[in-house]
Amino acid sequence: MMTELGIAFGRVAFMMFFVLNVAALLGWVERKQSAIMQDRIGANRAAIFGVRALGLFHPLADTLKMLTKEDFRPARADRLLFELAPFVSVFFALVAFASIPFGDTLHVAGRSVPLQAVTLNVGILYVFAMLSLGVYGVMMAGWSSANNFALLGGQRAAALMISAEIAIGASIMGVIMIHGSLNLMEIVRGQGQLLWGWLPAWGILTQPLAFVLFVTAGIAATKRIPFDMPEGESEIIGYFVEYSGMKFGMFLMTDMVETIVLAGLSTSLFLGGWQIPYLVADGFRFPWGAVIALPPLVVTVLQVGAFMTKVAVVIFVLMLIRWTLPRFRYDQAMRLGWLGLFPLSIANIVLTGLVLIAWGHR
């Protein structure tokens, strides 16, 4: 009983450790990457005993700054909802990662431990449910601030979320049809198969259109540039205009965590999750016949490492997009969601169905 509880705790703790630390690191990545892309030096002044470490201490300095700032609340604000909103926002972003697998089932001392925080048969629906609930934090923040600009920001967030969510749900249908499961672990395992004996059946190869649609709609759902009209910090005013201190920081953190969730989900659905091509439970088995035997623990470590590397690469690409494209206008984003992404997703479902029938799939 105690061991079971310990294992369950360990799985959740590992996931939280990973997500929270990467989220903190993303603040630094975002600044440094934009600096490199724009030929600047970027934040590098925070130092401990003269050690600057490429500005790596800036997330720490930012956190200390936010924690010690004045926590202001507007006089006419709805007190309870105003205080609750950032917590709702960050909570749903953090729990969304729970059913994303970061490794295959680990067999140790007669136990089998699936390397994901929570094993759910409807894992992928769970992630969407949590992501879609996150918008309430934003709407509550916009409404409870007693500020019309914040209210408009909250409404933009709601409208954007609904149009993005439908496209997300429709775009992943193809992946689900191929693997016949909503369990993310099963979907990742299915991508370990080889097409024609040599090509890994990763989602990006079997569902290229769905990948583009999913990432586009996913960026919209996480409210990042070029879909950041709910915030619009540079000229239009967003939902968190009345927030200060760490509560404002929590909204920023939500964005980072949602980016990680989006990257983890894209990795699991389209980039083979923890799969490494030709790596099976007992080592590498290449299609040309070569075999490299590896102990199970090494295989697991390689797989977890592969998952994290893939997530890092996807985050890098998302950040590239963020610093490349200008913001869409509100009506452009709506048109893209309803007249672009959604019909294409439906077309992708029909196409996938036809191919699966022609292929003689079940």
Partner 1 sequence: MAHAAFFIVAALAIGSALGLILRKNAIHGALFLIVNLGAIAALYLMLGAEFLAAAQVIVYAGAIMVLFVFAIMVLIPGKEESGPDPRRGARLLAVPVGALLCLLLVFVVAGQWSGPRGPGAPSGSVAAVGRLLFTSYLFPFELTSVLLLAAMVGVLLLAKRRA
Contacts of 38 (CB under 8 A, 6+ apart): 323
Q: Is the bond preceding 226 in cis, omega lying within 30 degrees of 0?
A: yes
Name the burial class of residue 21, with classes exposed (0-12), middle (13-18) and buried (19+) by CB atoms within 10 angstroms of its CB.
exposed
Minimum distance from residue 144 beta carbon to partner 1 (Å): 8
334 contacts partner 1 (rule: CB under 8 A): no
Using the rule CB under 8 A, give the single segment among 100-108, 134-142, 255-263, 338-346 that binds partner 1. Answer: 134-142
3-state secondary structure at position 57: coil
| Residues 69-108 interacting with partner 1 (rule: CB under 8 A) | 78, 81
Minimum distance from residue 120 beta carbon to partner 1 (Å): 7
Residue 175 token pair: 């992946």
For residues 230 and 154, is the Cβ–Cβ distance under 8 A? yes
338 contacts partner 1 (rule: CB under 8 A): no
Q: Which one, of 233, 264, 260, 238, lies nearest residue 85 by Cα?
A: 238
Q: Which one, of 361, 266, 358, lies nearest residue 312 by Cα?
A: 266
Minimum distance from residue 135 beta carbon to partner 1 (Å): 6
* Residue of 24, 37, 46, 158 interacting with partner 1 (CB under 8 A): 158
Using the rule CB under 8 A, give the single segment among 2-10, 48-56, 161-169, 254-262 that binds partner 1. Answer: 161-169
For residues 92 and 57, is the Cβ–Cβ distance under 8 A? no
Residue 14 token pair: 């590992």
Minimum distance from residue 163 beta carbon to partner 1 (Å): 11
AA letter at 137: G
Give the number of other CB atoms < 10 A from CB of residue 137: 27
8 contacts partner 1 (rule: CB under 8 A): no
* Residue of 126, 211, 248, 342 interacting with partner 1 (CB under 8 A): 126
Phi first, then psi, for residue 327 (nearest 5°) are -70, 140
Shorter beta-carbon distance to partner 1: residue 45 or 362: 362
* Residue of 132, 206, 267, 348 interacting with partner 1 (CB under 8 A): 132
Q: Which one, of 204, 220, 200, lies nearest residue 212 by Cα?
A: 204
23 contacts partner 1 (rule: CB under 8 A): no
* Residue of 30, 62, 104, 165 interacting with partner 1 (CB under 8 A): 165
356 contacts partner 1 (rule: CB under 8 A): no
Using the rule CB under 8 A, give the single segment among 7-15, 122-130, 298-306, 343-351 that binds partner 1. Answer: 122-130
For residues 139 and 154, is the Cβ–Cβ distance under 8 A? yes
Minimum distance from residue 307 beta carbon to partner 1 (Å): 23
Residue-wise DSSP of 209-270: HHHHHHHHHHHHHTT-TTS-TTT-TTSS--TTTT--HHHHHHHHHHHHHHHHHHHHHHHHHH
159 contacts partner 1 (rule: CB under 8 A): yes
Please report where in the chains the tokens 């080592």 appear, as a residue.
283
* Residue of 101, 103, 142, 200 interacting with partner 1 (CB under 8 A): 142
230 contacts partner 1 (rule: CB under 8 A): no
262 contacts partner 1 (rule: CB under 8 A): no
Binding footprint of partner 1 on the chain (CB under 8 A) = 78, 81, 120-122, 125-126, 128-129, 132-133, 135-136, 139-140, 142-143, 146, 148, 151, 154-155, 158-159, 161-162, 165, 169, 182
